[in-house]
Structure 1
Amino acid sequence: MKAALKSKYDIDNNGGAAATLAFNAGDVNLRASFTDATFINGPSLTALALSIDKPGSFIVDYNLPKKDVRFQFMNTISVAEKPLNLTYIHSWRDNRTILDGTLVLDSANKISGNYALDSGNSKLKYTYVHNGLTIFEPTYDVAKNTWDFAVSRRVYGDDVFKASYQTSSKVLGLEWSRNSKSTGCFKVLASVNLAEEQKLPKLSAETTWNFEV
């Protein structure tokens, strides 16, 4: 059994904690997720979610408080001898369906896109990995006719620095994350809306601890 404990703090909403317990049952994984809201006023079903998944095949999530089910099915086909990863996502209560696909051209280049059936919104993204360390990701929002840009670079093995800019909202974001088995996992995010008169940055931080039970 694996367990993960995540804590998050941001200036606007203070802090919070979440935990996940995962069990391996042959070809599938069983997972239970909950937050501190589950225990604040005594044990309850608040913020409790259950899921079952088979890696590379399907994921089924059930949100107990909302009584909502989310289905996700994955498959890979070959197009011109290139792998095309397809994902079908459907949220039952919201009646939302999203189709997602990623065509892997080679180890450094891939093209991905998604389409929301309910709204008709779609996005296209190109990902380029330079020397295995720097990633460039321009994204085109078809509905808004705008571009988003992101650049990330891995340093010191486990640390990743990322900068992003959304042209539609004029939000500039900076992120520092680490995913290490020895020193732990964390993420620090800062964003600022350049369209606002008072350009006050928003800060948040996340820390994750993984355990083998």
Structure 2
Amino acid sequence: MMKASFKARYEPDKASAAATVAVNAGDFKLRASMTDATVVNGPCLNGLALAVEKPGFFIIDYNVPKNDIRFQFMNTVRVAEKPLNLTYIHGKGDNRTIVDGCLVIDSVNKVSANHVLGTGNSKLKYTYLHGGLTTFEPSYDLGKNAWDFAISRRVYGDDLFQATYQTSSKDLGLQWSRSSKLHGSFKISASVNLAEERKIPKLCAETTWDFEM
């Protein structure tokens, strides 16, 4: 089976587009993605990326114009009978390695951590799902010594409203998204920096269409 998706992004000063085609090959998925830079001045290799994935085990991404490869490995272990989902990501180009872990305590509570090896960049996040609809996510950035907060609420099944606040940068964000197999998906977001004297919101809209062939 072949799946394709098309994404368009709109901002007041620019617009962009991207497309992805994925093919199932037994236990593996082969994926190719491109941006508008691939075809506007082309065809050319700008914005072209290839990937091989075995769901739940690994993903290998290759950025063609940058000749850069990224490895991502996933595994799940048990800690006190609780699933701990581990992800290891290494990018050859920037020589950066990221280790990510998520401990699922129960159906409504989970704790996750993210660390960039060789640096002080670490983040801790606690996720709490209330009533199956509202999610609270406080997180702490050890590198910045700062807290971030996010709260989201699912409405009418397909709609999700989210508010975020970053204490280090004083960025406040609002987002409305919808994911529907029949009508496609979209996301509308606005952000404003409360530290700026002129608090002009930044607006962005995205729409995604998925196809099966």
What TM-score bracket applies, with the shorter chain setting the length?
over 0.9
Aligned match of 1:2: 3
Deviation at 1:183, TM superposition (A): 1.8
> In 1, distance between residues paired with 2:58 and 2:42?
33
Instruction: Determine the C-alpha separation between the residues in 2 that align with 1:116 and 1:29.
Output: 27
- Could you tell me the TM-score, scaled by structure 2's length? 0.98
CA contact (8 A) 2:5 2:21 kept: yes
Counterpart amino acid of 1:145? N
- For each residue in 1:5-47, what CA deviation from the matched residue of structure 2 results, as whole angstroms up to 9, or x when unmatched? 00001124x1011000000000010000001110111211110
Q: Distance in 2 between matches of 1:80 and 1:21?
A: 40
Aligned-partner residue type, residue 4 of structure 1: S
Aligned residue for 1:67? 67
Shift of 1:118: 3.4
Q: Identity percentage over the alignment?
A: 69
Note the C-alpha offset of 1:207. Answer: 0.2
Alignment partners' CA distance in 2, 1:10 and 1:135: 28
**5+ long unaligned stretches in structure 2:** none
Query: Where does residue 114 of structure 1 map in the other structure?
Result: 114
2:130 counterpart residue number: 130
Structure 1 moving runs of 4+ over 2 Å: none
Give TM-score, length-normalised by structure 1.
Answer: 0.98
Give the corresponding residue for 2:46.
46
Partner of 2:32: 32
Match of residue 95 from structure 2:
95
Give the distance between the partners of 1:41 and 1:152, measured in 2 at CA.
40
Residue aligning to 1:162: 162
Residues paired across the two proteins, number: 212
CA distance, structure 2, for counterparts of residue 75 and residue 9 of structure 1: 36
Q: Which residue of structure 2 lines up, in the alignment, with residue 174 of structure 1?
A: 174
Query: Once the 2 structures are TM-superposed, how far is the Cα of residue 143 of structure 1 from its aligned partner?
Result: 1.1
